[in-house]
Amino acid sequence: MADEKPSTWAWVVVHLGYPLLPVPLEGLIRYVVSGWTFDFDTFNAATLAISAGLISVFVNQSLRTQASILPDPEEDDERSGTCVGFMALGIIFFALFAVVTLMYALVGRISPSPDWMKQILQGFQAVVFVIWIVPIIFALVAQRAFKLRASII
């Protein structure tokens, strides 16, 4: 098994599949517990935000640790720029995680919660639900562009 070549499929599983795994698991649990009803709270935006942030960090590290076969300054610059982009995405999603978690805690703590506070929470949740796909798409593009590989041991 140690002699097997690293694969693209393994890279996708390790860098995209594992960080996203909590999202459908949590959604399934909430779906079942809520009596098989699907609503805005079935999937947690905080879990999705932290998963997207982890994907960004994992891809960043994959890019940083990849060894070039033939050193090319232009490719190294592209890789460095891509690393910066993924680090920025990671920071954005970690910040969104913190804001959504804080707002959710405040809405749950203050009784009755003001409508404006619930609207702010739903606004941040909507942002996360819309932009979570960005690191996924960029990760797949980076994986193909830089031929990133991983081994599952």
Q: Does the pLDDT at position 14 exceed 50?
A: yes
Those residues whose C-beta lies under 8 Å from the C-beta of residue 41, and which sit 6 or more positions away, are: 30, 34
Give tens-digit pLDDT for 68-115: 777 788 888 999 999 999 999 999 999 999 999 999 999 989 888 899
DSSP 3-state of 39: coil
